[in-house]
A and B are shown apart, each in its own frame.
Chain A
């Protein structure tokens, strides 16, 4: 079977059977995402690299315990999150350093516009949300996970995740509206009816 087209869970199954190539494909698919998750959370780029590497080693060591009937991504993110929590005491407080580079697109103007908008929205989120709320929002939008998957990745109940997302939206509504006055791309479609 072609590893490139195989589902994550199939690759995990092959990894359980001892295929290092299958696991390498999983690393290729997820290294950026795990790195982004850890880098945007609490650590600087070098710490994020260390946590990312550690998370994959842990995942490899624990791959036999993965249930291939369940989605792979939340399982891997749960490991990465636990590594972040383990190392949390060594992490510096959230810095004001610029975020790492965003993906390259074809159109340079589009790249600039998206980069600016993306940095703004995520920076606002990082500034105004607590860790749990930020992680929930990150997994929801950057990872496109549903509530059940976020719950698995964060080790919380689905209700708890729904509440985290709700509170995050409540907290961000004001700052985003204010930011929208400066950056029109972030402005709500209509401004009417705000409290």
Chain B
């Protein structure tokens, strides 16, 4: 594993163009395998640098590229012109629409904010739920509740339990 890491450092140092740290150099000197790898990669580096990798393109390649680029430029020009043509009315319309929306929002009547029942908003919500559960059982007609009396009692007890839990967990 250590040998693999040192090999990686040899390769990395080659790309970074910096000398290996003293400790790594000592490891290489002590290991024939590492020494071999360092020599091989250095020679490989020289072989690749000596080997030309770039080929000449023939003239038709340059001409065909430029023909295609000019065609793309010509295609882009009318599009840009038409975009500019539309840009002024479109932005004016957008500004008008935004102004209309803002004025409508400012002029619209707002519903009054519900008054908080008591204390914190959490307390208000809990007491509202508590009151609602009692209110339901009082206001609903007995004929409606009677067939479901067991279920309703269960719901009522759940609501009360949950309410108690929330109230007790409040600081």
Measured CB to CB, the residues of A under 8 A from B are 20, 23-24, 27-28, 31-33, 35-36, 39-40, 49, 52-54, 56-57, 60-61, 99-104, 114-115, 117-122, 125, 137-138, 140-143, 146-147, 162-163, 165-166, 169-170, 172-173, 176-177, 185-190, 192-195
Contacts and interface: CB of A to CB of B under 8 A. Distances in A.
Nearest to A177: B40
B66 to A, nearest CB: 6
A140 B15 contact: yes
A120 B16 CA distance: 26
Contacts of B34: 193
A169 B44 contact: yes
A100 B52 CA distance: 12
B92 to A, nearest CB: 25
Interface of B: 7-8, 11-12, 14-16, 32-37, 39-45, 47-57, 61-62, 64-66, 68-70, 72-73, 76
Nearest to B62: A31
A129 to B, nearest CB: 12
Contacts of A117: 47, 50-51
A189 B57 contact: no
Contacts of A146: 15
Contacts of B62: 27-28, 31
B53 A118 contact: yes
B55 A118 contact: no
B55 A173 contact: no
Given A53-B68, A56-B69, A193-B39, A142 B53 contact: yes
Contacts of A40: 53
A36 B55 contact: yes
Question: Which label, helix, strand, loop or mixed, suits the secondary structure of the B interface?
Answer: helix
Contacts of B32: 192-193
B65 A53 contact: yes
A39 B62 CA distance: 16
B9 to A, nearest CB: 9
Question: Which label, helix, strand, loop or mixed, suits the secondary structure of the A interface?
Answer: helix
Nearest to B15: A147
A103 B54 contact: yes
Contacts of A119: 51
Given A36-B54, A189-B39, A192-B32, A49 B47 contact: no
A162 B10 CA distance: 11
B57 A32 contact: yes
A20 B69 contact: yes
A190 B41 CA distance: 12
A186 to B, nearest CB: 5
A121 B55 contact: no
A52 B65 contact: yes
7 contacts: A20-B70, A23-B69, A142-B53, A162-B12, A189-B39, A192-B32, A192-B35
A188 B15 CA distance: 18
Contact of B44 (A99, A122, A138, A173): A173
Nearest to A194: B36
A89 to B, nearest CB: 22
A35 B57 contact: yes
Given A53-B65, A190-B39, A169 B50 contact: no
B65 A31 contact: yes
Given A102-B55, A166-B7, A176 B44 contact: yes
Nearest to B36: A193
